[in-house]
Amino acid sequence: MSTEQTLFDRIGGEATFEQLVSHFYALVSVNPILRPMYPDDDFQAAAERLMLFLIQYWGGPHTYSEMRGHPRLRMRHAQFLIDSKARDAWLACMKSAVDELKIEESDRAELWNYLEMAAQSLVNTPE
Ligand code: HEM
């Protein structure tokens, strides 16, 4: 049996990702830059998609791909105008949510480094 533990397991599994994403979306829902980009009637579903994606990425169940197929994040974000302001707004909401988690600092750093890199990779609109 492997003794390697995934970050998903180390930080507390699904419950921790649920907490992260629900805090994040509470902030998105009142953010003037981000709120208009998200579907009015489907906020809960959007939160679920992000949560399932992150769970899968960090070594948990692959429910995201069973439901949505290959993530193709750049393609799925192409319809939104993501400039550095939108990226920074997204990261600011995510930073507060990540900072609230009761997890090891090394895991927090690993999670945050990935999120920063991923957000940068989704910028698709130059100033
Ligand atoms: C850079 C700033 C970002 C902005 C402004 C942004 C915005 C959005 C918007 C408006 C949606 C549509 C909501 C929905 O109906 O699902 C979405 C979906 C999604 N975003 Fe982002 N996003 C950003 C960064 C990220 C990052 C860094 C990740 C992953 C680490 C991510 C993962 C996702 C996922 C998994 C979905 C659902 C895709 C699907 O299955 O349709 N996003 N994003």
Q: Is the CB of 68 under 6 A from ligand 1?
A: yes
Q: pTM of the full predicted structure? A: 0.96
pLDDT digits (tens, 9 = 90+) for 53-91: 999 999 999 999 999 999 999 999 999 999 999 999 999
HSE-CB of 72 using CA atoms within 13 angstroms: 7
Question: Average pLDDT of the chain?
Answer: 95
Fold category of 11-121 in CATH: Globin-like (1.10.490)
Best substitution site from 25, 90, 93 to test ligand 1's pocket, by max atoms within 8 Å of Cβ?
90
pLDDT digits (tens, 9 = 90+) for 103-118: 999 999 999 999 999 9
What is the rounded CA–CA span in Å between residue 43 and residue 52?
14
Residue 122 gets which letter from DSSP? T
* Residue 3 CA to ligand 1 centre (angstroms): 33
| Lookup result for tokens 């397991």 | 9
pLDDT digits (tens, 9 = 90+) for 3-13: 679 999 999 99
- Torsion angle (degrees, nearest 10) of CA 67, 78, 99, 68: 0
What's the maximum distance between 2 C-alpha atoms anywhere in the chain? 50
